[in-house]
Structure 1
Amino acid sequence: MDPVEIKQMAVIEESHWWFRERRALIARELRRMTPGRAIDIGAAAGRNTSVLEDLGWQAIALEYDSSGAEMAKDRGINVVRGDATQLPIPDAQFDLAMSYDVLEHIKDDAGVVNEMMRVLKPGGCVLIAVPADPKLWSEHDDAVSHLRRYTRESLTTLFEDAGFTIEKVRSWNVILRPAITWKRGRKSNAGSDIEAVSAPLNRVLHAIVGMERYLPTGKLPGVSLMLRARKP
C-alpha cells in the first residue's frame, strides 16, 4: 500500500466503523483459539497486531514499508521489516499467520501463501481478508494499489494449492455492498474512500455492518472475503 494511505489509515482506524468492525471480527476468531506465537503479515501501523497482543498472543508485525513499520514500532509493537514473499523467519515458528487486506497488493500472492505455509507449525492456522468480486473494481482499487479482487473460488484455490485445508470462507460487508458500490461508481468519487466520516454516520454504519455478526449473510455477495484455513 502507498505510504500516504498507510498514514491516513493510521489516523482514522481507531474510530472508523470499517476498521473497528474488522478488529471485532479478528478478536472473535482469536477467542476460539489458544494463544501462541503469531505473525501479522503486512501489518501496516500494527493496529491489528495489537488485537493479538491484547488477547495473549506473542505477536510479530511484518511490514515492508518503512513508515508503517515505524508507526507500529512507536505503538510498542515488535516489528520486523521484510518482504512477504521471502519472510525473514525460520521454518515452523508460528501457530497463526494473519494477513488482512494485503494479498491483493502483491503480485506474487501465491508466494506469500507458500511462505505462510512454511513458517507455520503443523496444525497452524491462517486468518485472511481480501477484497471480493472483480465486478466491484473501481477507482478506489486503483488509488490503494490493488492488483486484484478475489472470488471465493480464486481465494480457496490459492490456499488449497499451497497445501492448506480450508475451514471457512465467508463474505463480509454484505448489507452495505449496494451503498458502497453506488458510492464508488460515482464520477465525483474518484480515488480512495479511506476517509473519516462524521461521528453520527460512523455510529450508524458501524451498527449496520455489526449486524452481520448475527445474521446469515456469509454466503451472500459482499465487499470482502474472509478465510480461515489450517496447515495439516
Structure 2
Amino acid sequence: MDSIELQRVARIEDGNWWYRERRAALSRELLRFSVPGDAVDIGAGAGGNSRELLGHGWRATAIDLNPAAVTLARAQGVEAYEGDARYLPLPSERYDLALAMDVLEHVEDDGRAAAEITRVLRPGGTALISVPCDMALWSAHDVAVGRVRRYTRRALVELVEGAGLLLERMWSRGVLLRPLLRLVRHRSVRREDLAPLHPVANELLRLSAALERRLPLASRSGTWLFARARRPG
C-alpha cells in the first residue's frame, strides 16, 4: 500500500464499516485473555488494530514494510518499526499475541511469513490471522490493492499448520455480502474499499455485519476468513 492509500485508510478506518468490524472481531478475541500481554501487529498499516490492542491494555508493537505506515502509527502513539513480514526485526519467543490481519495475501512467500509468526510467539502464544477468501471472487480490485492470492479454507489450514501452529478455530465473515461483493468487484476496478462510503450505505453494511454475527454462518462461504492458532508449548 502506497503512502496516498495509507492516508486514505487513516482517514476512513474509524468510521468505515469494514475496518470497524475487523477491530470488533479483534476485540472479541482479546476478551479470551485473562490478562493483556505483549503483542505484535504485523503489516499494521495506519495502526488501527494496534490502537485497539493498546485500548485493551496490551503492550503493542507495530511492524510494516512501508515507512509512511510507521510514521502514521507512531503519530497515533503506537510503538512502530519498519520491517518485512518474512524477516521480522524481532526477537524469537517474545510475544503472547501476533496479528496478521489482511497481510499474508500480499506476500509471495506466505509460508515464510507464517513461519515468522511462529518464531516470534512464545510457546502457548496466539496468532490471529485474517485473509480474503475464494479465488472465485478474484477481480481487478485484488490486483489493484496488491494481492497475490485469495485463500480457500484448506489453503489457510495448510499454511497455519505448515508453520507449526495448532489451529484452534477458523470462521468466515462477509457471508451475507458475498453475492453483492462479487457483483460489484467484477464490474469495477476502483479501489472502493479505500473510498469514503455514503453514510447510508456504510450504516447498511454495518447492520449486515452485525446481523451476521448473530446467525450460524461461520462455516459458510464468505468473503473473508479469520483464524485463531496457537504455538505449541
Q: TM-score range by the shorter chain?
A: over 0.9
| 1:2–1:145 Cα contact (<8 Å) kept | no
Structure-2 separation of matches of 1:2 and 1:148: 19
Q: In the alignment, which residue of structure 2 is the partner of 1:6?
A: 6
Structure-2 separation of matches of 1:32 and 1:215: 21
Pairing 1:60–2:53 present: no
Any residues of structure 2 matched to 1:165-180 within 5 Å, and which? 165-180=166-181
Q: In the alignment, which residue of structure 1 is the partner of 2:199?
A: 199
Structure-2 separation of matches of 1:14 and 1:112: 28
Q: In the alignment, which residue of structure 2 is the partner of 1:160?
A: 161
Structure-2 separation of matches of 1:210 and 1:14: 16
Q: In the alignment, which residue of structure 2 is the partner of 1:132?
A: 133
TM-superposed CA distance for 1:167, in Å, is: 0.4
Pairing 1:214–2:209 present: no
Structure-1 separation of matches of 2:21 and 2:162: 30
Q: In the alignment, which residue of structure 2 is the partner of 1:93?
A: 94
Structure-1 separation of matches of 2:225 and 2:2: 22
- Percent of paired sites with the same residue: 43
TM-superposed CA distance for 1:9, in Å, is: 1.3
Q: In the alignment, which residue of structure 2 is the partner of 1:29?
A: 29
Q: In the alignment, which residue of structure 1 is the partner of 2:224?
A: 224
Q: In the alignment, which residue of structure 1 is the partner of 2:80?
A: 79
Give RMSD over aligned pairs: 0.9
TM-superposed CA distance for 1:7, in Å, is: 2.0
TM-superposed CA distance for 1:216, in Å, is: 0.8
TM-superposed CA distance for 1:131, in Å, is: 0.4
Structure-2 separation of matches of 1:220 and 1:2: 33
- Corresponding letter in the other structure for 1:69: V
Structure-2 separation of matches of 1:169 and 1:178: 21
Deviation beyond 6 Å, 4+ runs, structure 1: none
TM-superposed CA distance for 1:3, in Å, is: 3.0
C-alpha change, 1:3 and 1:105, in structure 2 (3 Å) is farther
Pairing 1:122–2:123 present: yes
Count residues in correspondence: 230
1:119-164 Cα deviation digits (max 9, x unpaired) = 1100000000000001100011011000000000000100101111
| 1:174–1:220 Cα contact (<8 Å) kept | yes
TM-score by length of 2: 0.96
Structure-2 separation of matches of 1:161 and 1:139: 30
| 1:139–1:192 Cα contact (<8 Å) kept | no
TM-superposed CA distance for 1:5, in Å, is: 2.3
Q: In the alignment, which residue of structure 2 is the partner of 1:109?
A: 110
Structure-2 separation of matches of 1:98 and 1:229: 11
1:86-105 Cα deviation digits (max 9, x unpaired) = 11111110000001000001
SS of equivalent residue, structure 1 residue 88: coil
| 1:2–1:144 Cα contact (<8 Å) kept | no
Structure-1 separation of matches of 2:84 and 2:201: 37
Structure-1 separation of matches of 2:84 and 2:161: 22
| 1:103–1:112 Cα contact (<8 Å) kept | yes
Q: Return 5+ residue gaps in structure 2 as ranges.
A: none
| 1:5–1:144 Cα contact (<8 Å) kept | no
- Corresponding letter in the other structure for 2:2: D
TM-superposed CA distance for 1:11, in Å, is: 1.3
